[in-house]
Amino acid sequence: MLKLEVRPEASKLMSVASPLIALAVTVIIGTLLFMSLGKNPVQGLSMFFYEPLKSAYAVSELAMKATPLLLIALGLAVCFRSNVWNIGAEGQYIIGAMFAGGVAMLADKDSSRWIVLAILIAGVVGGMLWGGLVAVLRDRFNANEILTSLMLVYVADMVLSYMVYGPWKDPAGYNFPQTITFLDPTKIPRLFTGFRTNIGVLIALAAVVGFWVFLFRTYAGFAQQVGGLAPAAARYAGFSSRKALWTALLLSGGMSGLAGGLEAAGPLGQLTPHVPAGYGFAAIIVAYVGRLNPLGIVFSSILMSMFYIGGELAQSRMGLPKSLTGVFQGMLLFTLLAADTLIVYRIVWRAKRAAPPLHTAASSAGLKEGNA
């Protein structure tokens, strides 16, 4: 019989291998899914794992898609390591985009290119404001941050809709719910001519280094993680749980807002009701697949962006629903959770004990009766 047996200590090997196992199982399930839909599984899987890498332009699009996922997941990694469950990064992303867009709309044709810096700072401030609201509700009223952060996503979505349908609607936009197109001085500078990849990629890579240093090389990062792993030990050591809460939510909100600002003033170029792209929710998977480690999050954000691009290609070229992207994201998360069981447990084979022969059992029963 196959049984799960508790390991003497957590397996470091399985901690690394678990995401790879989850990816392999996701590919197998994806193959079966394409076959059940009557599609060529090789063509279907190539949309997800080959097409996003086949050319320089495809790689540039992949980097652009991975940038907001990477930024948001970095902030969430700090939250989750601190035992603060921020599920509302999508709302912080939306508010960050709105703050950045508000500054962008103040520009005119004579504005300096330095206004891009003000736009990104506004995005960070907007995200921190929305994350700070969650912190206030948790700190002052002991409200569950899972519920409050999630519900604030829908509030942020409604605020965005109100602004683009009302005060910020472009008067020359043929009554479409959208703001004016941001002027050229406000657009995020691109890295290469002919590609849409912008300086957001460099900002994200710099953030990876900064967050790695913060988490693993500073006293403040150590305090954050101790508070998440052992709250009682953190209190005994004099670490402030309140400070950890605010630090985690403000950092996470700021990174989500920065991602929103880069998207609004980058590839979007204006605000519409379609600003919410699900990055805030997908980044939760990115953070966990990356093991809440900034370096691992780089690779998991690339993988998740491949799912996004692959889903769009499968929709346009194979006639499959766009929801296929969410299916692959969900499969990756659930297979990862299942594979993570092997970190603490190991599979062992134990042969069934053979039943004693009938005459032996009968003689044993007779012996017991004689003794009685």
Q: What is the pLDDT of residue 1?
A: 76
Domain identity same for 313 and 324: no
Question: What pLDDT score was predicted for residue 359?
Answer: 59
If asked whether residues 237 and 276 sit together in one domain, one would say yes
358 inside domain: no
Domain shared by 117 and 160, yes or no: yes
232 and 269 together in one domain: yes
331 within domain boundaries: yes
Please identify which residue in the block is written with the tokens 């867009």. 101
Tell me whether residue 114 is in a domain: yes
- In terms of residue numbers, what domain contains 60? 48-318
Q: What is the mean pLDDT of the chain?
A: 91
CB atoms within 10 A of CB 202: 12
State the 10-residue block means of pLDDT for the chain, 372 residues long.
Answer: 85 89 93 92 93 94 96 97 95 98 94 95 98 96 96 97 96 93 94 92 97 95 87 82 94 98 95 94 95 95 94 90 87 91 87 62 51 50
Domain for residue 166, yes or no? yes
Q: What pLDDT is stored for residue 321 in this prediction? A: 87
Question: Is 336 inside any structural domain?
Answer: yes
- Cβ 100 vs Cβ 126: under 8 Å: yes
Do 334 and 293 lie in one domain? The reply is no
Give the CA count within 13 Å in the CB-facing half-sphere of 198: 20
pLDDT at 237: 82
Same domain assignment for residues 209 and 255: yes
Same domain for 229 and 139, yes or no, is yes
> Residue 270 is part of a domain; what is its CATH number?
1.10.3470
pLDDT for 186: 95
| Residue 371 within a domain | no
Are 120 and 165 part of one and the same domain?
Answer: yes
Q: Is the same domain home to 189 and 218?
A: yes
Model pLDDT for residues 251-290, shown as the tens digit of each residue: 999 999 999 999 999 999 999 999 999 999 999 999 999 9
**pTM of the complete model beyond 0.85:** yes
* HSE toward the beta carbon, residue 141, CA cutoff 13 A: 9
Verify that 114 and 247 share a domain, yes or no: yes
- Total domains, the chain: 2
| The domain boundary residue, chosen from 269, 300, 318 | 318
Give start and end residues of each alpha helix (H) in the chain. Answer: 12-36, 41-49, 56-81, 89-104, 115-141, 145-165, 200-217, 219-229, 231-236, 241-263, 279-289, 294-318, 324-339, 341-344, 358-371
Same domain, 142 and 57: yes
Q: Clarify whether residues 216 and 326 are in a common domain.
A: no
Per-residue pLDDT at 364: 53
pLDDT at position 286 is 96
